């Protein structure tokens, strides 16, 4: 399963999801310090800054997901408290 973590913080939800066998597809986090932590632990996972402007089209544009490839879907969306 592939996950999208909104209001990701430093990635606590994603860490637990990885322990359960899931793979992070993308993060959405606006604050610079948590972004640095996310980049350190998941350097290949894209980070989107603003949840208000995050769209399916942006996820497709960045290669996070695809309408044509079932392996590039988002299976689970999680969110921490902002």
Give Cβ neighbours of residue 12 (< 8 Å, ≥ 6 apart). Answer: 80
CATH class of the structural domain 2-79: alpha beta
Give Cβ neighbours of residue 3 (< 8 Å, ≥ 6 apart). Answer: 14, 17, 22, 23, 24, 25, 74, 75, 76, 77, 78
Distance CA 77, CA 71 (A): 16
> What residue ranges do the domains of the chain occupy?
2-79
pLDDT tens-place string over residues 24-68 = 999 999 999 999 999 999 999 999 999 999 999 999 999 999 989
pLDDT of residue 49: 96
pLDDT of residue 47: 98
pLDDT of residue 20: 97
Would you give the distance in Å from CA 36 to the centre of its chain? 14
């Amino acid at each position: 399963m592939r996950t999208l973590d909104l209001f990701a913080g430093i990635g606590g939800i994603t860490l637990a999801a990885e322990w359960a066998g899931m793979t992070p597809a993308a993060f959405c986090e606006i604050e610079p310090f948590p972004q640095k932590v996310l980049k350190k632990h998941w350097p290949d996972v894209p980070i989107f800054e603003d949840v208000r402007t995050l769209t399916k089209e942006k996820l497709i544009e960045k290669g996070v997901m695809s309408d044509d490839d079932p392996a590039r879907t988002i299976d689970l969306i999680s969110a921490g408290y902002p």
